[in-house]
Structure 1
Amino acid sequence: MRRVAVLGAGSWGTAFAKVMADAGRDVVLWARRPQIAAAINDRRANPDYLPGVELPPRLTASTNATRVLEQSDVVVLAVPSQTLRANLGHWRDLLPAGATLVSLAKGVELGTLKRMSEVISEVAAVPPSQVAVVSGPNLAREIAAEEPTATVIACTDHDRAVALQNACSTGYFRSYTNTDVVGCELGGAGKNVIALAVGIAAGMGLGDNSRASVITRGLAEISRLGVELGADPLTFAGLAGLGDLVATCSSPLSRNRTFGERLGRGETLAQAEEANHGQIAEGVKSCTSICELGARHGVELPIADAVRRVCHEGLSAAAMAKELISRAPKPE
């Protein structure tokens, strides 16, 4: 794995491209906007998404997808989950045969209720064993600043996961392999929704007990759904489960957590989006598809459903809290 293409020059795509370049790979980053590609090539920076971070010489950028993808051993898909299908449809015929396709997106597709690896396998017409997933506590700003972190590379093909693990190992980025793609993806998608709930609680002024309760019960929800879909329950106790959940629910760098805080302070979805520079947190869309996935498989997801109704049905934060705390008593 010597040449890597990263499609998507947002904060996480750029940070992961930096990791791969720091690990000794030649990385070409596809940027939609020419000014971002120019800044990366001329100033070694992506000021729109990672201001103050110096990018390595092995990392270059282009708006030409053909140039980015040619002769790549690894293709990293770093676009939002709900736009992945459309974007990949444009790139499908340019994908090098046999390249490892890597998903950085964390979500469940609206309508189809497919996980991101399933979308990639379907659109690119490749076997699931050719698709890997990166999950875990992946706050882009901290990784780009080279703060030590651990992550999970999941692939049903263990040897492919190990090859990717070796290709992205640096002095600050440590990865572990896992063959439980289902668990890793559901952990990554579910934590965004739970982080919205934790943010709502924080925005209401609730304290650590309340937030810890939401995190813990949220993990139980994610685990129930994952196990029903065939995931290994132990995955949710690891980096792609608890690790990602804690980081996303706790950090001010988490878009879902900060978006939820605005909702908890009484802002509407439109007001929170405007304050977030027009960007919607992934969990706002994924909460709908995750709830539909739970309903399809008969799995109760009370926190996710409450978040969905706050975001899309006008349920107030106060009513959400009262509803959750008033649910019928039951064993843990």
Structure 2
Amino acid sequence: MSKVAVIVAGSWGTALASVLAENEHEVIMWSRDEQQVDEMNIHHSNEKYLPGVKLSSRITATASMEEAMLHTEAVVLASPSHAMRQVVSQMKPYYKHGVPVIHVTKGFEPKTLLRMSEVIEDELQLQDNDVVVLSGPSHAEEVIQKCPTTVVVASNCKENAEKAQDLFINSHFRVYTNPDVVGVELGGALKNIIALGAGLSDGLNFGDNAKAALLTRGLAEIARLGMTMGGDSLTFAGLSGIGDLIVTCTSKHSRNWRAGYMIGQGKPLDEVLEHMGMVVEGIKTTEATYQIASNLDIEMPITTQLFQVLFQNKAPKLAVEDLMGRGRTHENEEIVKSNLSAWSL
């Protein structure tokens, strides 16, 4: 069995720590919050993030990064995207090169627009072989209850991907491997934008037809940008693409859906964020993705309209009207181009 450090004790980090503990690994969680550390060690709970859940005695917590990293054989990074660099910089003095780093965060660094694996590699001066990405349709609230869940781990190093697979896989948490780090990472990040849109659509009472169209065209946007950035098209049809998209756009557990729903009902963004009380990754991801798409000259109409709603005070209903009123086009430009001669006969 291994000693695994889980860095940042939010809902997802805690749920994954529970999977590891169930697999009989020794788990130490790091949090800067001394009260949270005491709660986890004394009461074996994390009420703020996973209320009503009893944690395994195999899970201990510490506010000391040095203690968390001591003799660890794998590191799971569950920091919010905007804080990833700061957290990794705290970890850096105690990190032993060669230890696999598994990150489970879905988003971009706000200023640099880097993917999380790029931030980790940059801060720890790693080769990309050392970083593993874990993603897929997996709400912490269901994982902690041992509901059947399937995820994917991606790494440029097959050995590290399989190490991560071995750490987590069990009878209710199935883990696949994938060599496409970029695709897995982008699928997990970009679907949060579409989940905001799905919530917004539901908040406007636009019904199932609208949401089905939003998910479908949203996946087209994800794949369009993702393939331009180096991801494989098949990855976006997998667990970190369409799988994560479906669960995040349709579940009561989804923070992004809930935030979008409140915005669709007319609540201002500041009020929504205050009400949520936890990070809503899709909001920062929308801003970052809008910039990335602009830089790469990639058309992303759903992302553009959501950016205008979130950051330019555009009315949600007007954004939907503008989406529906766009000029006529083909569903799939690539298919049309490859079949244009036959179609014109």
8 Å contact from structure 1 (residues 102, 134) kept in 2 = yes
Runs of 5+ consecutive residues of structure 2 not aligned to the other structure: 332-345
Counterpart in the other structure of 1:311: 310
C-alpha distance in structure 2 between counterparts of 1:273 and 1:167, whole Å: 34
Counterpart in the other structure of 1:327: 326
Answer with 1 or 2: which has the greater Rg: 2
Q: CA RMSD in A?
A: 1.0
8 Å contact from structure 1 (residues 9, 32) kept in 2 = no
Counterpart in the other structure of 1:167: 167
Deviation at 1:96, TM superposition (A): 2.0
Show CA shifts across 1:257-316 (max 9, x none). 000000000011011112213x34111111111111112222111111111111110011
Q: Give, as a single letter, the amino acid of the residue that structure 1 aligns with 2:218.
A: G
C-alpha distance in structure 2 between counterparts of 1:86 and 1:42, whole Å: 28
C-alpha distance in structure 1 between counterparts of 2:138 and 2:9, whole Å: 16
Counterpart in the other structure of 1:290: 289
Q: Give, as a single letter, the amino acid of the residue that structure 2 aligns with 1:183.
A: G
C-alpha distance in structure 2 between counterparts of 1:82 and 1:215, whole Å: 26
Counterpart in the other structure of 2:250: 250
Counterpart in the other structure of 2:85: 85
Q: How does 1:200-215 map to 2 (within 5 A)?
A: 200-215=200-215
- Asked if 1:157 is matched to 2:143, the reply is no
C-alpha distance in structure 1 between counterparts of 2:171 and 2:43, whole Å: 24
Show CA shifts across 1:176-217 (max 9, x none). 000101001110110111100000000001101101110110
8 Å contact from structure 1 (residues 73, 100) kept in 2 = yes
| Residue aligned with 1:177, SS | strand
| Residue aligned with 2:16, SS | helix
Counterpart in the other structure of 1:199: 199
Aligned sequence identity (%): 39
C-alpha distance in structure 2 between counterparts of 1:217 and 1:191, whole Å: 11
Counterpart in the other structure of 2:301: 302
C-alpha distance in structure 1 between counterparts of 2:162 and 2:98, whole Å: 16
TM-score, normalised via structure 2 length: 0.94
8 Å contact from structure 1 (residues 70, 96) kept in 2 = no
Q: How does 1:4-153 map to 2 (within 5 A)?
A: 4-153=4-153
Q: Give, as a single letter, the amino acid of the residue that structure 2 aligns with 1:122.
A: D
C-alpha distance in structure 2 between counterparts of 1:89 and 1:41, whole Å: 25
Deviation at 1:108, TM superposition (A): 1.4
Runs of 4+ in structure 1 off by over 3 angstroms are none
Q: How many residues align?
A: 331
Counterpart in the other structure of 2:241: 241
Counterpart in the other structure of 1:222: 222
TM-score, normalised via structure 1 length: 0.98
8 Å contact from structure 2 (residues 80, 279) kept in 1 = no
| Residue aligned with 1:287, SS | helix
Show CA shifts across 1:202-239 (max 9, x none). 00011011011101100000000111111110000100
C-alpha distance in structure 2 between counterparts of 1:290 and 1:143, whole Å: 28
| Residue aligned with 1:230, SS | coil
